[in-house]
Structure 1
Amino acid sequence: MAIFQRVLLTTSVLMAAFSSGQSIGSDKIAFTGKARIGSEYQSNVNINAIEQASGQSDSAMLLEAELTTSWQATPQLRLDAGYSILDKNYRQANDFNTRLQLAYLDGSYMLGKHTIGANFYHANAQLNKVDFLRLNQASLYSLLHCGDTWFIRPALTFAEKTFASIHERDANTFSASTDAFWFSGSGMRFLSMGLVWEDESTQDPTFSYRAPGLRVKLSNRFTRWQFAQQLQVGAKVSQRDYQTTQRSDTHTVIDASWQLNLNPQFAIIGKMEHGDFSSTLDRADYRETRTALLLQFEF
């Protein structure tokens, strides 16, 4: 359920700002579609949203589709919207089969070299074809152009999680974050570092926590063997302190991805992720590694 930590649009907005220094001309509408098919291996099949791990490994078939649109309404005003769906079907662990749908709307406005914006996300997750979790999330953010090659993006985020059958887990979440981005190589490379503080209040106070965190990502786009490629590596660490118990968790996730563009339409994507979810609560203490290989078609 990595969707609950996902930040869309940031990189694309930053890349546009870096490459042009200003918005593109007004009244331009762009549409993009992507479809992916592939396989994922998971060393410990689990439901991260409720810290439930099976202790068993399995492989799964992945099917993904994504549609996005952007409208440069004026030289200052930009609107983005999108919808995506992900189906994950395991070979054996059918109880963990997942369908995740996400829709979002983002609006941003440039004030000189700086940008202010707001977005809204709605996500629906099904587990083994049964409704599992609904997420509504709204954010306010700004994008501060601090020099020729670096930006700062502070944000405030409010979220509501509603579980279909585990109502004690229903939660309201507030988070504050700041990310800094440094670009080089005419925007082909960037390094980002961010701090985040999260406060989640659940129906059952046993699950309420506060969590400071750190995240970092390095991205490099390049051409080799006459193919355009992109390599990304990242890491996230958060410390969860629970409010009514002696429980304390440390979540550490490292990831890497490599995209090889065969031509403007087709690409091969490889991914790796390792998560260490340490907890003083035995059932929430587990580790997992995921690897995936996907074929992407873009139109």
Structure 2
Amino acid sequence: MFRSHPIKTLSLLVLTAIISATSVAEGNAEDIAEGNAENNAVKQAHSLDYDISFDLEVGTIYDSHLSIEEIDRNTDKGDSALYYQGALKGELKPVEKLLLTADYQYSSKAYQDFDEFDQTLGILNLDGSYQFDWLTLGINAIDVNADLSDEPFLTLTQQGLYVSKLISNRYFIRLAKNNADKRFEQQIDRNAEVNEFNAGFFLFFDNAQQFIHLGYADKFENASADEFDYDSYQLALKYSKKFQLFSQKGQWKVGVRRTVKDYRNDSSIIDEPRQDRRNVAEIEVELGLMKKVSLMTKLELLGNQSNLESQDYQSEQVSVLLKADF
């Protein structure tokens, strides 16, 4: 049992040890948009015919305040979960400037005591982009199927259009417009049409061993029930650095993000529009253990402020995972 939170202590020790070591041994010298943007920035500078990859993550997660944000379900109790994720990705360049990708990701989170928060998630992502002389134009489609406590929970389909530009192998800019349809299995009053605009800027330096990412997202959600209509925006900042510890490669990231969500109509619970503010700070470290196996540990601190009392809380989440790439 983890009631004394040993995983939290272990993760903090691992984080401290790795970060301290990297200050001495710096060496040579990212749930989809940021990682794809970073990968696309690199691929625009390197020709690729085709590639197939698979990665697997398995480990444990501790959350001090369990919650399901999509339906405002939460408890002030903490619990640990067994987590695993598998991802299969294929890439094809039929011609020099055309890149086609397809990937499927499946994950499961099973808690020890609170099985009503158990989650499984399947995500299919299809993407096609063409690199013109002055920019890259791309389209993508995402299909999400989520189960909660072994019951169908949510389906989401999204289509997007984006433009991006890599400048001097140093600056990467990406603008995207997405439209999504969100459908809940039971709480159909939360079904919604979603319109979203995203902007991202990457600054690579130290031969791409380090980068800074600035992100902005603006979302407009129109739900079946008026009380769940909202407008929101998110600001994000992240710094990442690759390092080498003895003979093993690694990477650490620190980031913060703030989400402001304003509902447009009165809530049936508080007789006024909801106002939610969410602040998140996180640090993540990945360290190679052998050729294709690495250890990942992450600490996330979350502060949620809301005029709806049940959604006003703080939480800490710690994870320790093993990752294998094939």
Structure 2 length normalisation: TM-score?
0.86
Instruction: Report the alpha carbon displacement of residue 288 of structure 1 after superposing the two structures with TM.
Output: 1.6
What secondary structure does 2:173 align onto? strand
Q: Select between 129-138 and 144-153 the one with higher mean Cα deviation.
A: 144-153
Q: Which segments of 5 or more consecutive residues in structure 2 lack a partner in the other structure?
A: 1-30, 267-272
Aligned Cα root-mean-square deviation (Å): 1.4
What secondary structure does 1:165 align onto? coil
Dislocated runs of 4+, deviation >2 Å: 5-8, 145-148
Instruction: Please give the residue correspondences for 1:249-260 in structure 2 after superposition, counting only pairs within 5 Å.
Output: 249-260=276-287
Please tell me the residue identity of whatever aligns with 1:170: N
Instruction: Please give the residue correspondences for 1:193-208 in structure 2 after superposition, counting only pairs within 5 Å.
Output: 193-208=214-229
Counterparts of 1:234 and 1:282 in 2: how far apart (Å)? 27
Instruction: Report the alpha carbon displacement of residue 6 of structure 1 after superposing the two structures with TM.
Output: 5.4
Q: Does 1:281 align with 2:304?
A: no
Instruction: Report the alpha carbon displacement of residue 39 of structure 1 after superposing the two structures with TM.
Output: 0.4
Q: Select between 217-226 and 5-14 the one with higher mean Cα deviation.
A: 5-14
Residue 104 of structure 1 is matched in structure 2 by 125
Please tell me the residue identity of whatever aligns with 1:195: Y
Residue 24 of structure 1 is matched in structure 2 by 47
Counterparts of 2:33 and 2:257 in 1: how far apart (Å)? 12
What secondary structure does 1:283 align onto? helix
Contact 1:70 1:78 in 2 (8 A): yes
Instruction: Please give the residue correspondences for 1:151-162 in structure 2 after superposition, counting only pairs within 5 Å.
Output: 151-162=172-183
The structure-2 alpha-carbon separation of the partners of 1:148 and 1:67, relative to structure 1 and needing over 3 Å to count, comes to closer
Instruction: Report the alpha carbon displacement of residue 16 of structure 1 after superposing the two structures with TM.
Output: 2.4
Residue 266 of structure 1 is matched in structure 2 by 293
Q: Does 1:133 align with 2:154?
A: yes
Counterparts of 2:316 and 2:154 in 1: how far apart (Å)? 24
Counterparts of 2:168 and 2:277 in 1: how far apart (Å)? 35
Q: Deviations over 1:184-203 (max 9, x none)?
A: 01111110112221101111
Counterparts of 2:169 and 2:89 in 1: how far apart (Å)? 29
Counterparts of 1:168 and 1:101 in 2: how far apart (Å)? 23
Instruction: Report the alpha carbon displacement of residue 15 of structure 1 after superposing the two structures with TM.
Output: 2.2
Structure 1 length normalisation: TM-score?
0.93
Contact 1:36 1:65 in 2 (8 A): yes
The structure-2 alpha-carbon separation of the partners of 1:148 and 1:97, relative to structure 1 and needing over 3 Å to count, comes to closer
Q: Which segments of 5 or more consecutive residues in structure 1 lack a partner in the other structure?
A: none
The number of aligned residues is: 290
Counterparts of 1:99 and 1:194 in 2: how far apart (Å)? 27
Counterparts of 2:310 and 2:133 in 1: how far apart (Å)? 51
Residue 54 of structure 1 is matched in structure 2 by 75
What secondary structure does 2:265 align onto? coil
Contact 1:53 1:286 in 2 (8 A): no
Q: Does 1:237 align with 2:258?
A: yes
Identical-residue share of aligned pairs (%): 25
Please tell me the residue identity of whatever aligns with 1:282: E
Q: Does 1:10 align with 2:37?
A: yes
Counterparts of 1:8 and 1:120 in 2: how far apart (Å)? 16
* Greater length-normalized contact order (CA 8 Å, ≥ 6 residues apart): 2
Instruction: Report the alpha carbon displacement of residue 51 of structure 1 after superposing the two structures with TM.
Output: 2.0
Instruction: Report the alpha carbon displacement of residue 269 of structure 1 after superposing the two structures with TM.
Output: 0.6
